[in-house]
Structure formats: C-alpha cells, structure tokens
Structure 1
Amino acid sequence: MTHSTNGRRALAGSAALAVALTTAGLAIGPSAAGYGEAVIEPVETDLAGKGWVTARATSNNADAGLALDGDEGTAWQPDVASGRTATSHEGKQGPALTIDLGGAYDGLHKVEVVLADATPARYVVETSADRKRWVTVADHSDGRSGAAGTTALVDREGTRYLRVRFVAATSSAGVAEVHAYNYLRDDLKLGADLSYADQERDQPYYLDAEAALAGAPDPGPQLLDVVKDRGMEHLRLRIWNDPRDETTGVETDPAYQGPERSLTVASEIVDRDMGLGIDFHYADSWADPSKQPKPRAWAELPFDELTREVHDFTADYLTQLIGQGTTPAKVAVGNEVINGFLYGSEAQIIGTTAPQYFTDEADVYQSQPGGGLLWKYWRSEDPAEQQAYNEQWDRFGTLMASGIRAVRESSPESEVEVHAIVDTGRLDKTMEFWTQLLTRLEAADAAPDVLALSYYPEWHGSPEELEHNLHTIAETFPEYALDVAETAYPAESWPPGDPTPLPNSPFPVTVQGQADAIQRVFQVANDVPGNRVQGVLVWEPANWQPMFTWVETSAGWFPEANASLDIYRESDVTHVLEDSVHVVTEVGDGVRLPRTVDVLTPADGNVSGVRVHWQKVPDDATAAPGTFTVDGTSEYGPVTATVHVVPDRR
C-alpha cells in the first residue's frame, strides 16, 4: 500500500566500493548487485496491526478497536445522540479517538486515517509523546479538505500517541482505520560479529573490478572495507583467553581471536570509524549454550580466585584497548550464557560433554566449582536440589558481577551487555534466567545496561516468536535496553539446489531469502516499543551461513558479496512519500486529482511537494456512486488515489 525510497547508510569515501566480478571477463561497477539477485526495499511496518497497540475513544469506547482491525468496512463512530461527545480524557475538545502505540517511536514518519464515509468532516490529526502536549500533523477543521481520509507525514521523535479529533461531531463522523508507519530509526546499529576478520587478513576482497580482472592483489584487510561500504556500523570481536583446538585442547598457532591478535583487528575497525564491541567468552575455545569451559589457566583455581581472575582479565584487556585508542562501545560479559559460564565441578550434574578436552581432562577442568547453572533442578520440590540450584545461581551471579565491575572500573564509557538466548517455546526459562540474574546483579550494584539475545530461526523460533520474546522482556524489565547480538540466514543450501526454508522460517534458502530473513530481524528489533532495541548483529557473515560466495575469476577463486549484503545500506528510508490520497466527487462530475503530494526527507526533516503523473480516468468512472482507485507515479515511487463517488448533493 505504501512506498518509500531507500539508502540512509553512508558509503565509505566519495564512491561506493565494489567487490569481485561474477564471471571472468565481466567488469562489475560499484552499483552491481553482486552474487545472485535480491530486491531490497526500505523497512516499513504498519504498527496499527501490532497486538500491543490499543485504541480508546471519548464516546462509544467499546468500538474504538474497530479503527485497528484492518477492515475498512467497520468503524468507530462517536455516539452523537448521547450528548457525551464534547468531553474527553484530554479535555473539552470534541469527540476523539486516541491510539496508544505502546511506547515511543523515533522512526514513525507516516500516519494514514481512513474515515467512516466520504461526507465532509471537520477534524484534525495529532501526535504526542505524553498525551499532554499535542502537535497537529493534519488540519482539516475547515471541513473543505480531508474528506474520506488523509495521509500525514511526521518528523518528530518519541511519538507514542496518535489522535483523530473531530471539531464538530455529526452522525456520519467516524474512523474506519488508522495506519501508523514505522521506519528504521537512525540510532539502530546494524553490523556483525566479524571475529574471523583476524583470519581473513590475507584474503583479497577486491575493491574494484579492474583490479580483479587484472589479477592484481589488493593489499590490506579488505573484508572490513567491503562491510563498511555496504553500510555496517558496528562490529563485535569475541575474545578467547588462550586459543585452543576444540578437540585436543592444544594451543593454536597462530592464536586467532586471542587477546593480542584481536587488538590489531580492533584498531582496524576503529580506523574505519565503525563501532567496536568486545565479547568475552572467558574460555579458550567456543563458549555457547551447549558448552562453557573454563580457560585452562583458571581451571583449578578455587572459586574466590576464579572470581578475581574474571575481574583482572577483563580490566587488563579493556585497559589495553583504551590505551591504543580503541575504547569499545559495548562489552559482553560472557557469550550466550543462558546455562551459565565457566563450568566447573557442577558439570558432573549438568552432564555436559563438550568440548572434548573438557571431558578428557575432567580432573583438571571439573576440579573446582564454577558458574554453570543447574536447570535440571529448576522447580524441584527436593530441598537439597533446590538449595543446589540457588547456590549455583549465586556463583554465576558472583562471577558475572565481577566481570561487570571490571568493565565499569576500567572502561566507564562502554555499555555492559549480558547475552542469552530464547529456545523455541522456552521463554519461561529465559524469563527465569533474567529474573534470577538481574535480582542478584542489582543487589550487588552491578547491573548491566543491555540484555541481548541470539536469534537463529532453526533453534529460536519464528520471527513472530522473536517479536513476542523481545516485547515480553522489554515489558518485564523496562529499565534495560535490548540487543539482537547474533542472527544469520543461509543463501544456499548444502547440498546446493534446495531452497526449502529453514525450520520456523518463511524465507527460502536463496540470496533473496537471506536478505528478507535478516531484514525481518531488523524490522522486529526496530518495532519494539520505546526504541528499546539498540542494534542487530549478523554472526560471521563471511564464514557461517555466509553473505559472501566464492566465485571463479581469471585470477582464481575469490569471495564476492551477495546482493543480500546491501540490506545494510538499503533498509533505511531516505524519502517518505504521501503515497495514498483520498478524493471525493459527485456522480457525473469530473475527478480532480492532486497535482502534487508531499514527501518527507527524514535526514533533515524537510517536507516538499513532488509532481504526480496520473493514469487517465475512464470517462464513465463517476457514472454511479462507488469507489475506485487511480494509479500515479512520482519521482519517489507510486501514488494511489482512492476516489469516492457520492450522490449528487445539490
């Protein structure tokens, strides 16, 4: 129904950079789509369809919800005959319908009101942040404009309430539907966990097609240049204490993603003017919901000493980052810690079997207690099991508080994040996690700033479940910001050729499906009321469910960005168009369509007119009462006029 143009994310330098060519001998310019095809439109949501959006009215309140039911055949209409229409909860100013969006929105830029019928009405459309101070965005109080409906463009941050207020009530006054369109807000940070950039330093990611055609090496860590060009704004790096082989436990050489090498990658990120995130795994290899091994150097420490090591390691590394001019914007204390972290002797109850070295050397790694959680005792009626459950929560909370304090002390400009998950159908477990942990952290004066989730549909449910989970956490813990710290979606199946969507996802496994699936996460995050979600990060887009494809060129095989990577710079709106207009005419009369409609540029708040070229209206279009539409085109997209033909009023 609506259309807007895209492209807020800035390009690096004076021109867009290009990645490698798709076939040998074919040059690709900066605007090339890349591997595969993807049509990417700006993110746009009609918030009126969300379950948390409500309506109330100054009269006939029982029918207020009809203005949000998606059916223009039903409407809220004030009860004029009752005499109760002059006074409302906002004061004595005529019958009114108020929409509560459930929280503030900075990206709300368009409101469409469809009236109950095409009879001329005197009304205004208003917005508010607090339901006390109202700003008029469409004034039809003269009764000569706005018949049948109106579309208003909005350029105000913090909008929570919308109101349609009739200056004078008549028997035909009423509202059939209200649509409120939300777009990506400026401060929603989109990026990736790109820790593998450490390994990618020697892999060419060509910046122009001519260099690729010539087979010339293009020096430098170009992966970072490509993602910067495509619009990524924030990159996260995981930190392993002393990197080891996942199976053998042998130290790796080079020590990829260890503290020292990650200092170099952090500098490369900050040098490109991108935000930096640090994700402490507190392990020598992967830490995730299925495994949380202690680092070998800490494995046999008594619990008090382990707690000190968490603090000192965190503080020391952050001090090094700050010393080289790379203060992180955000620091995660642990990675996907829904089951705790730094497993010790409690692993014998948890029953973990990974990583292999953790079980092979159980006498070392499981010799002292750690911070693993005993979920098998949750809700147990056995006093001993319940005591063990609570004691492990205390240990986990103590370790987490130690890491958080280290961030506060050594890098006070950094926000602190705790990162968990919500398994499909297990929101109750995640809510228990946050309740238990935050209660302890708040009591210890070590509360974080951000609550983060991972989201992969194959494990964590549908996009609708993600939306429900984020909304529930936001409502339950209103003092905290939120993040989607990890997400991903494949562009190609293995073996190749099967586009069947992943479990819980509606999107095919194609380049287009990859773009749509990840953009849907952007949308879900952006739509949480109150601007609560700070950002969305794709996990390792050059390596896992990658957004790059290896292609063969005359110089050999090189990674090329999928067209889906453009979601970072094309999901944002640059112009919001008044793309729906209502026109009323009488039977037998001509149709007068507007020559121009409004267009808003959110970057500067400017609203200007743009010419519309309309299709020809059939000669007999107004021969009888009814409704029809006329399509138009403008510089910024299509426009639809809904023409209401009413009986001759003369």
Structure 2
Amino acid sequence: MKKLFIATGILFLAMTSCKKYDMPGNTPATNPILANMVRGADVSWITEMEDDGLKFYDTTGKQTDGIQLMKDLNMNAIRLRVWVNPANGYNNLADVTAKAVRANNVGLKLLIDFHYSDSWADPGQQTVPAAWSGLDITALQTSVYNHTHEVLAALKAKGIIPAWVQVGNETNNGMLWPLGKASDHMDNFALLINAGYKAVKEIDSNIKVIVHLSNGFNNELYRWMFDGLTANKASFDVIGMSLYPATSEWQTPNQQCEANMKDMISRYNKEIMICEVGMPATAPVATNYFIRDLYTRINNLPGGKGLGLFYWEPQAYNRWQNYPLGAFDASGKPTFAMDAFR
C-alpha cells in the first residue's frame, strides 16, 4: 500500500458501538477458525519507530518488545518489505535481516515482500532501483534473480527460511516500469516473476511464491492479470490480495473479495493470501468485525485454499508517518481491533 496515508485525509467515522455488527457464535472466545489460519502483521516500520523513541505496550500498559507483542496478541506470522537501496537504510538487507531474526526468535513465520525498488512500489508506481536504471529486460531478470537470491541466502545463513515470498508488491500493472509494465509488456512481467521464482525455489523449494495485487474486491483486475500471466507461463503458488474498505462499508468489499477469491481458485487452482488489510485506528470495533468476518470467508473457501491474512503496520500509532489505519491507540497499546486475532 503506499500509501494513501499521505492523501487520505480521514473521512472515516469512528465506530463506537458493535450493535450494527453483531455476529453471534463468532466471538474471539468461541471462534475455532483462527487455529488453522495465518494470523499476520506487517511490522516493517518497527525498527524506524523504535529508533525514533516510540515504545509498545500491552493492554495493561506494560512495555513490551513490539515483535514479542505481536506473538502475545496471537499472531503467528510477520511480513517484512524489502527495498533494494533505500535512502535511509530502513528495509534494506541489514534491517530486514535484523527484524527477521527477532521474529524467528519468538517463533513467528515469515513472509518476505520484495518491492524491487528503492522505495514504495504499489499500483501507482513501480520505479526501477537506481542501480538497475537503463537495464534491458534480460539484465532486469538477472537483477531480480540476484537480489532475491541474495536476501534469501542471507536469511538462510541465519537459519531462517521464509514460508512465503512475494515477487513484487501490489503489482496491479506489473513492476519495474516501463519494461515490466503489464499493460504494455505482460510477457516481460511474466519473465520477471519467473526470475524471482527461480531464485526463491533455489533457496528452498518449499517456500511459496506469491503474486500480489491490491483491490481484492476487483475481479475484473484479477482475471485480466492472472489470465495474462498464465498465458505467458508465469510461475507462482499463491494469489495475494490487499483489502482496505471504508469503515462503514466493509461488508460489501468483503463479499466481493470472497467472490473474487472463489473465482481465482476455480480458474487457476491457487491458494489465496490476504497480504494487507487495514481500517482506521479510530474505528476498532468495526475493524475487529471486518477482520473476523473476512477470516470466516477465507476459511470457507473451497479445498482449504484460504491461507489467512496480514494486518498492515498495526503497531503504527499516533499517526506515525501520517498513516491512519493502524490498530494501536495513541499511547502505543493495541486496540480492540487486535482482539480479532485471538
């Protein structure tokens, strides 16, 4: 997601009552669905937040390591983005490795999210890293392979094998523009995915490779992209989605996302991961019910192909980086939204 958070303003209303969202029989205490699901958080900002002096607290107010806190909140997986050569160093190989070690030390699975850029990659921008500027498509394939292999080899050297790897982030129109722009060069985009896929499988054949798009409610987008990739013989294991509904309107996007997930399974026989979700930190009740409802829909997918979901930067509090869709309050404590993972 890049972030809408600069421009979103916050036209969202805080939800103070759960009466509208009553879901009998699906309370955190009685819902058995979560046991078999990925319950994840993307916490890529965490080292930058810590270096800025921010701290994290459990619901009793006890200061707790941010990644340990995710484990305590019943998360079982962490997602980390990777940038090639970021200006401030965060999300580079060293930073990602340090965070991955911390997650691994507390028993959390890992999803590595390659942006193949020096900064944000998303539907509005897929900028080639400065070091790769001017390369032709053959050289870009080599760069994708080498970068992917280097990062995963560094993790493997620490005894860490990710469970999942994203080859690209929110690649609604491909990546590494202009040569990998799917609307112009779907064949090139497939080649780039295959370069990343090859590197991942050489590190460990059990790692599942994800191709990730935003707007999980948009079936037309997903059919266009995955029809094109399939026709161009792209290799991938999981279809990844993002879903960021408006506070008062999450039921319809959830229904549309469920229909899209079912269609993807029917058409391509792939597993589904919701790689990013979020709603306003000011609406914890609505967010809680949004997540729980979405888990029910993922659980009901045919063939057990629904894997689970990741909340995007839930620990981002007090409008960190102007981002309003975290799930912690202004004092650095998790809100009721996070109870959806218990």
Interval of TM-score (by shorter of Structure 1 and Structure 2): 0.7 to 0.9
Q: Note if 1:195 corresponds to 2:52.
A: no
The residue that corresponds to 1:449 in the other structure is 237
Aligned length: 311
Provide, for residues 326-380 of structure 1, a one-character-per-residue CA deviation record: whole Å limited to 9, x for no partner: 1111100000111100013xxxxxxxxxxxxxxxxxxxxxxxxx20122xxxxxx
2:278 to 488, 512, 517: 488
Change beyond 3 A, Cα 1:264–1:475: same
Q: Is the 8 A contact 1:328 1:414 kept in 2?
A: yes
Q: Aligned runs of 1:190-589 on 2, under 5 Å?
A: 190-202=39-51, 203-206=54-57, 209=60, 222-243=65-86, 251-252=87-88, 255-344=89-178, 370-374=179-183, 389=184, 392-422=185-215, 426-441=218-233, 447-458=235-246, 462-478=253-269, 480-492=270-282, 510-543=283-316, 544=323, 545-551=325-331, 559-569=332-342
Between the two proteins, what is the percent identity of the paired residues?
27
Cα displacement (A) at 1:230:
0.9
The residue that corresponds to 2:13 in the other structure is none
Q: Is the 8 A contact 1:238 1:279 kept in 2?
A: yes
Cα displacement (A) at 1:482:
0.9
Cα displacement (A) at 1:491:
3.4
Q: Aligned runs of 1:597-616 on 2, under 5 Å?
A: none
Q: Is the 8 A contact 1:235 1:276 kept in 2?
A: yes
Cα displacement (A) at 1:194:
1.2
**Counterparts of 1:293 and 1:448, CA distance in 2:** 22
Change beyond 3 A, Cα 1:208–1:44: closer
**Counterparts of 1:514 and 1:207, CA distance in 2:** 19
Secondary structure in 2 matching 1:225: helix
Moved over 6 A (4+): 36-43
Q: Is the 8 A contact 1:486 1:539 kept in 2?
A: yes
RMSD between aligned residues:
2.6
Q: Is the 8 A contact 2:216 2:242 kept in 1?
A: no
Change beyond 3 A, Cα 1:464–1:304: same
Q: Which has the higher contact order (CA 8 A, sep 6+)?
A: 2
Q: Is the 8 A contact 1:198 1:257 kept in 2?
A: no
Change beyond 3 A, Cα 1:41–1:191: farther
Change beyond 3 A, Cα 1:470–1:38: same
Q: Is the 8 A contact 1:322 1:411 kept in 2?
A: no
**Counterparts of 1:462 and 1:336, CA distance in 2:** 18
Q: Is the 8 A contact 2:34 2:295 kept in 1?
A: no
Secondary structure in 1 matching 2:143: helix
Provide, for residues 427-454 of structure 1, a one-character-per-residue CA deviation record: whole Å limited to 9, x for no partner: 2231021011023235xxxx21111111
**Counterparts of 1:232 and 1:340, CA distance in 2:** 30
Provide, for residues 276-310 of structure 1, a one-character-per-residue CA deviation record: whole Å limited to 9, x for no partner: 11000000111011111011100111221111011
Secondary structure in 2 matching 1:395: helix
Larger Rg: 1
Q: Is the 8 A contact 1:43 1:519 kept in 2?
A: no
Q: Is the 8 A contact 1:319 1:411 kept in 2?
A: no
**Counterparts of 2:24 and 2:239, CA distance in 1:** 24
Cα displacement (A) at 1:209:
5.0
Aligned residue identity for 1:456: Y
Change beyond 3 A, Cα 1:334–1:191: same
Cα displacement (A) at 1:192:
1.3
Change beyond 3 A, Cα 1:239–1:457: same
Provide, for residues 545-588 of structure 1, a one-character-per-residue CA deviation record: whole Å limited to 9, x for no partner: 1110113xxxxxxx11112211111xxxxxxxxxxxxxxxxxxx
Q: Is the 8 A contact 2:116 2:168 kept in 1?
A: yes
**Counterparts of 2:307 and 2:59, CA distance in 1:** 33
Aligned residue identity for 2:49: E
Cα displacement (A) at 1:527:
1.5
Aligned residue identity for 1:432: W
Cα displacement (A) at 1:421:
2.9
**Counterparts of 1:324 and 1:41, CA distance in 2:** 46
The residue that corresponds to 1:177 in the other structure is none
Secondary structure in 2 matching 1:549: coil
Q: Is the 8 A contact 1:489 1:518 kept in 2?
A: no
Aligned residue identity for 2:229: L
Structure 1 length-normalised TM: 0.45
Aligned residue identity for 1:438: T
**Counterparts of 1:185 and 1:548, CA distance in 2:** 21
Q: Is the 8 A contact 1:44 1:184 kept in 2?
A: no
Q: Is the 8 A contact 2:41 2:314 kept in 1?
A: yes
Structure 2 length-normalised TM: 0.84
Change beyond 3 A, Cα 1:43–1:568: farther
Cα displacement (A) at 1:468:
0.9
Q: Is the 8 A contact 2:214 2:243 kept in 1?
A: yes
Q: Is the 8 A contact 1:407 1:414 kept in 2?
A: yes
Cα displacement (A) at 1:44:
5.3
Change beyond 3 A, Cα 1:327–1:37: farther
Change beyond 3 A, Cα 1:43–1:226: farther
